A and B are shown apart, each in its own frame.
Chain A
Amino acid sequence: MDDPSQGNSDYVIEMNHIRKEFAGIVANDDITLQLRRGEIHALLGENGAGKSTLMSVLFGLYKPDGGEIRKNGQVVKINSPNDATALHIGMVHQHFKLIEVFTVLDNIILGAEDTKFGFLSRKEARARITELSEKYGLRVDLDAKIEDTTVGMQQRVEILKMLYRDNEILIFDEPTAVLTPSEIDELMKIMKNLAAEGKSLLFISHKLNEIMEVSDRVTVLRKGKYVGTVNTKDTNKQELSNMMVGRPVQLVVEKGEAVPGDVILDVSHFSVPSRIHSRNAVSDVSFQVREGEILCIAGIDGNGQTDLVYGLTGIEKSNGGTVSLCGRDITRLSVKKRGEDMSHIPEDRHKHGLILDFTLEQNMVLQRFLEAEFQNRQFIRFNAVREYTQELIERFDVRSALGPLTRARSMSGGNQQKAVIARELDRNKKLIVAVQPTRGLDVGAIEFVHSELVKERDAGKAILLVSLELDEVMSLSDRILVMYEGEIVGEFDPKKVTVQELGLYMTGARRQDGKGGATA
């Protein structure tokens, strides 16, 4: 390895000994990253390892507390995205920075517009962009509005934005998270093209397959610290994984055999309209969940899982089929009526799970404040609410500054999630709908949530789990359904299926009813 402390003009970008703190938390601690001209350099690390912070420092969004950045061996100061742009550094953010109501063309030129007599010269811009998109194989429709385009095209727009600005250093922040597999393949090709044309690429990811496929070198971060840089061809997935987590990956959930009992949830030919387009987001879905089992719905984000849950829980209206819960037809019932037999750990704790301006205790009785335990002639029994909250706090280890009186907003994300889970599990309903219950949690908290869910299963609850993490799907579920484009395309036994096989179904390459591809 090169000595990182010396400036070296072999490197187009060097970030030496970067340090960045946020309110006492060290997000980057003495991190060094060196990018060679024309290489694809992967930056690997778990959620929270400090990858995004480091890239934000490079892009001028954060000011580092220590360390230096060099370009072509010269020390540079990057205080704003403008400085970064001037140094020809460009970034594709994880959440695209696009104006939805603008056309693709306007989005690409925004911030780097050429004008003639004060007017935008869109014609010249169009010619240049067309040339660029042909050169790198970036297909876009310049006159389409962003809101009408696919995620894949939006990403190509982001790449074109960088190329239009003649950027040499291109940062990709988890670019594959939102893409379909075929779009991922296309992106990989584009990235190789770009490198071949002399661009230097920084590629942030925590997906080992992609890193192995596309990168030349890998820098690994763990918990804000620099672990090391290796050549991709000299390493393997296992080694990278060990570097990333510091221990061999082991996601094992202690659980016994499931003993399924009666049918609790019976979904039949169920459809939910889309909030975005005119097609159904969920179409003609049928399945059952029995007591004592965890049924998992797997799939890539955006294939109708969210809408299915909204439809089942009554947040959105369904437009076809029936749902019955504990033998009662709930298809037309209100959220409240459904809640009599169902608890729901929502996907988005800030949007649905909590009222952030309420205190913890107020949040704990969100569905239950009308129960006799918590009100007397419509007057809330504050003591009962507080005692109840105190009990849940202790049982689920929810940590907060002021106990029951803490504002939900001021709690950490992990504790917010724990509070929601505590509330929902304690409602003690026959059916538990859990959507990405471990999102944003650290390993310890994830284990806790998993063991709680297994406990509930063993107590005879029916659990419908929606998860995007294949590890979680494989280790926690007793049965797996795969959703693709609003339909269920396969049912599996986790003990008999491989992740690779699930992947084929999740990406639409196969389906069990024989409509597409070969049957399993």
Chain B
Amino acid sequence: MKESFFQRKGVKTFLASLISIMIGMVAGIIVIIVVGLTNSTIADSTIWDGIRLVVMGVFSKGRDAVGNLTFGFNPAFFGNMLFRAMPLILTGLSVAVAYKTGLFNIGAPGQYLAGICATLFVALSIPTSSVAPWIVWTLAFLAGMLAGALWGCIPGLLKSLLNINEVIACIMTNWLAACLVTWAFDVSSLKNVIEGTKTGYIYKTAMIINDYELGGVVGVAGPELPEGATLLATRGNVATAKMGLDRLFAGSQVNGGILIAIVFAILLYVIMEKTTLGYQLKACGSNRHAAKYAGIHDKRNIVLSMGIAGAMAGAAGSLYGLSGNTEFFWATYQSLPAVGFTGIAVSLLAVNNPIGVIFSGVFMSFLNVNGLQLTNQTAYNENITDVIISVIVYLSAFSMLIRSLMEKKKEKPKTASSGEVKA
């Protein structure tokens, strides 16, 4: 009895998500067609290219001699898809964990920023000339998670102690994080002055940054020191291990971070489904009053849940920063990282199931990569993928409801009447 029931429920959930995806894609394609037809600068052939790229841009192999799109397995795009899936899975987990505890974590962007900020500070401040890079990496990663967790705890505390709605608190802490991060980098010495081509970026963690002294003046340089300078310390040279993935997906940015994200997903699944901690968190999420009645510390669990959620979003930022070659634009006070908001979509599409988050995260990054191809190869741009994602979120707002209705109908008629008489 148990097996078939759960199997059917799982299948139904999967189908519902699949339908959401299909409708989202169709909506995106309709936008492409409508815009293409109404805009005189877009040729009809471009519309067809656009549709194909939205659906399978990952398989794009560029244009052939006569300008037609060609498709096939492209290891670089596949690798990049996995690379981009990493932060999405983690922010998705962040939203999912909070959701299980009955909290809507719209604060993932802020937690992500807190994570990337702490990570970059640690990774770029500790001299790797005296501390082994892998230790610096570990410290930086832990710092990122911790910063994210602390930032997540703030709305958690406000909710449990002062009963402030977590949605509004998260929105405020997002912008606070954006301002604080800008402030912190503004007064730091981590702004990239070595590769002076673009301004406004922080050092990449994989760079080699040499602090030197020349004639009593301290300066920073890349691998090449100015003549006559004495090397004081070397910083940087910190990056997540590739773990062989770079050979599998040649030419891509992918690294071991995606594996860490998957491990976290499995870990959270086990915690939520198999342990007493998960039981408590879910109890608080489903019925705070009953949890309190049963002696479960509801306030502590709210903070704890937001802390875990923050740690996940922090890890997302951290691993993104630690991939070595990503650049961080520090004056971010006017915008929030989209990956934090996309985490909501990732989680909802996966019905807040940590294992499902892995797949929906990969799917969202699949859309992202498709979108980039759209920008590169047509007159369209990648924002269409966000339109598709928002449609999917919109559908999930009521698909969850429909699923729970289906479930209820299944169980009810079998109940033999006994005990109560309807008043």
* A406 beta carbon closer than 8 Å to chain B: yes
Contact mask for chain B residues 264-298; partner A; CB cutoff 8 A; 1 contact, 0 none:
00000000001111011011001101111111110
* Chain B residues within 8 Å of A441, by CB: 419-420
Chain A neighbourhood of B414, CB < 8 A: 401-402
Residues of B within 8 A of A402 (CB): 1, 5, 411, 414
Does B163 lie at the interface of the complex (its beta carbon under 8 Å from any beta carbon of A)? Answer: no
Which of the residues A315, A362, A406, A407 comes within 8 Å of B279, measured between beta carbons? A362
- Residue among B289, B413, B420 having the largest count of chain A Cβ atoms under 10 Å: B420
Report the nearest B residue to A47, measured CB to CB.
Answer: B423
Cα A400 to Cα B1 in complex, Å, equals 14
Contact B295 A335 (CB under 8 A): yes
Q: Smallest distance from the beta carbon of B339 to chain A beta carbons, Å?
A: 30
Q: Is the CB of A442 within 8 A of B295?
A: no
Complex contact B423–A366 (CB within 8 A):
no
B408 contacts chain A at the CB level, 8 A cutoff: yes
Known: A52-B423, A380-B276. A412 touches B418 (CB 8 A): yes
Whether B412 sits at the interface, judged by CB under 8 Å, is: yes
**Interface: B421 (CB within 8 A):** yes
Complex Cα spacing A351 to B417, Å: 22
Given A355-B287, A358-B286, A406-B411, are A25 and B417 neighbors across the interface (CB < 8 Å)?
A: yes
Q: Does A413 contact B (CB under 8 A)?
A: yes
- The size bracket of the interface on A is 35 or more
A465 on interface, CB distance cutoff 8 Å: no
Q: Is the CB of A335 within 8 A of B294?
A: yes
- Distance in Å from the Cβ of A343 to the closest Cβ of chain B? 11
Q: Does A410 touch B at the CB level, under 8 Å?
A: yes
Question: Is the beta-carbon distance between A369 and B276 smaller than 8 angstroms?
Answer: yes
- Nearest chain-B residue to A448 (Cβ)? B419
> What 0/1 pattern do residues 50 to 83 of B give for CB contact below 8 A with A?
0000000000000000000000000000000000
CB-CB nearest in chain A for B291:
A355
Q: With the chains together, A102 CA to B136 CA distance in Å?
A: 62
Residue pair A339, B295 in contact (C-beta under 8 Å): yes
Smallest CB–CB gap between B266 and chain A, Å? 15
Whether A353 pairs with B290 at a CB distance below 8 angstroms is yes
Number of interface residues of B (CB under 8 A): 37
A92 in the interface, Cβ–Cβ < 8 Å?
no
Q: Which listed residue, A314, A401, A440, touches B420 by the CB 8 Å rule?
A: A440
- For A405, list chain B residues within 8 Å (CB): 1-2, 5
Q: Please tell me if the beta carbons of A399 and B274 are within 8 angstroms of each other in the complex.
A: no
The CA-CA distance from A398 to B314 in the complex, in Å, is 46
State A151–B2 Cα separation when bound (angstroms).
49
Closest chain-A Cβ to B2's Cβ sits at a distance in Å of 6
Given contacts A380-B274, A405-B2, contact A367 B294 (CB under 8 A): yes
Inter-chain CA distance A77–B46, complex, in Å, is 61
Measured CB to CB, the closest approach of chain B to A387, in angstroms, equals 14
Point out the residues of chain A lying under 8 angstroms from B282, CB to CB.
358
- Smallest Cβ-Cβ distance to A374: which chain B residue: B276
Which residues of the other chain, A, contact B417 by a CB distance below 8 angstroms?
Answer: 25, 412
> Which of B290, B292, B408, B411 has the most chain A CB atoms inside 10 A of its CB?
B290
Residues on the A chain within 8 Å of B286, using CB = 355-358
- Complex interface bits, A404-433 against B, C-beta within 8 A gives 1, otherwise 0: 011101111111011000000000000000
| Chain A residue at smallest Cβ distance from B421 | A48
27 A-B pairs with C-beta separation under 8 A: A23-B412, A25-B417, A48-B422, A48-B423, A315-B292, A315-B293, A335-B294, A335-B295, A352-B290, A354-B287, A355-B287, A357-B287, A379-B274, A379-B275, A397-B418, A399-B415, A402-B1, A402-B414, A405-B5, A407-B411, A412-B415, A412-B419, A414-B418, A415-B415, A417-B419, A417-B420, A445-B418
Give chain A's interface residues, CB within 8 Å of chain B. 22-23, 25, 27, 46-48, 52, 313-315, 334-339, 344, 346, 351-358, 362, 366-367, 369-370, 375, 378-380, 397, 399-403, 405-407, 409-415, 417-418, 440-442, 445
Closest 9 CB pairs of A and B: A414-B419, A336-B295, A414-B420, A48-B421, A401-B414, A413-B420, A410-B411, A352-B293, A335-B295
User: Beyond A355-B286, A379-B275: 14 further Cβ-contacts under 8 Å?
Assistant: A25-B422, A47-B421, A315-B293, A352-B289, A362-B279, A366-B294, A399-B419, A400-B415, A406-B415, A410-B408, A414-B418, A441-B419, A442-B419, A445-B419
